[in-house]
Structure 1
Amino acid sequence: MPCARARLIVLAATCAVFVSLSSAADDLGHGEAVYNGICLACHGGDGAGSLPGVPDLTEVAAPLSQDDAVLLKRMVEGFKSPGSPMEMPPRGGNPALTDADLKAALKYMRKTFQQAK
């Protein structure tokens, strides 16, 4: 079951990686740490999506083309892409992530994946 497998992967990534979230001096470095600790399991190292149904963040019309407010709301509340067999859990499955953590991760994703093309 892809949905159950994805949730297990997110849970494993959340449990296996503890990121010091409040003491990061560099927003991009902090965003990278959050991404690598939480988001990487589903979105992949290249942002292209490592599981079926996960959107490719590098495409021009990808989710990263939307406003920060829309994306942050989805990151906070969770989101299921149309046609996807699974959904992103609220705060990537880690309720300890703060809004500042999510903003830093979004900043990192924009810089890393929007410049990839």
Structure 2
Amino acid sequence: MRNILTFLQESNDTAGAAHLLKTSAAPVTGSSGLSGKEIFAQTCVACHSADGKGAFPGVPDFTDKNGRLSKPDSELFKHVMGGFQSPGSPMAMPPKGGNTSLTDTDIQNVIKYLHEEFGS
């Protein structure tokens, strides 16, 4: 969470940084063994919101049937692993969503959860 907050502060996204300061997510320690839902709640929800519609302008809406989740899982994996900036978005998602302890399996579990929860 602190990595995301630092990123937002450095990118001059004061609204995003202020939102994160109000968000009380569980501290991220080792993520291995957690379900995709648990990882999403700890690592992703601050920006992507619990309803998957995105908490800030430019954050992908996972409920959009033609949106980000319509991409191949291999592309989604690459975006989570290496970070990604959506065209027209004022901020980028940091690699691993700012949670450097995420493993390949953790990322695969999150992608599976996104499909199950938000469809596509």
TM range (shorter): 0.7 to 0.9
Aligned residues: 108
Any unmatched runs of 5+ in structure 1? 25-29
**CA distance, structure 1, for counterparts of residue 78 and residue 18 of structure 2:** 20
Q: Partner of 2:107: helix, strand, or coil?
A: helix
Shift of 1:110: 0.6
Instruction: Answer yes or no: is 1:92 the counterpart of 2:97.
Output: yes
Pick the aligned partner of 1:17 from 27, 34, 37. Answer: 27
Do 2:29 and 2:101's aligned partners in 1 also have CA atoms closer than 8 Å? Answer: no
Question: CA, structure 1 residues 92+4, in 2 after alignment: closer, same or farther (shift >3 Å)?
Answer: farther
Percent identical: 41
TM-score where L is the length of structure 1 = 0.80
**CA distance, structure 2, for counterparts of residue 53 and residue 6 of structure 1:** 15
> 2:95 is matched by which residue type in structure 1?
P
TM-score where L is the length of structure 2 = 0.78
Structure 1 stretches of 4+ moved >6 Å: none
Q: How does 1:33-112 map to 2 (within 5 A)?
A: 33-112=38-117
**CA distance, structure 2, for counterparts of residue 112 and residue 81 of structure 1:** 22
Shift of 1:48: 0.3
The equivalent of 2:16 in structure 1 is: 5
Any unmatched runs of 5+ in structure 2? 1-11
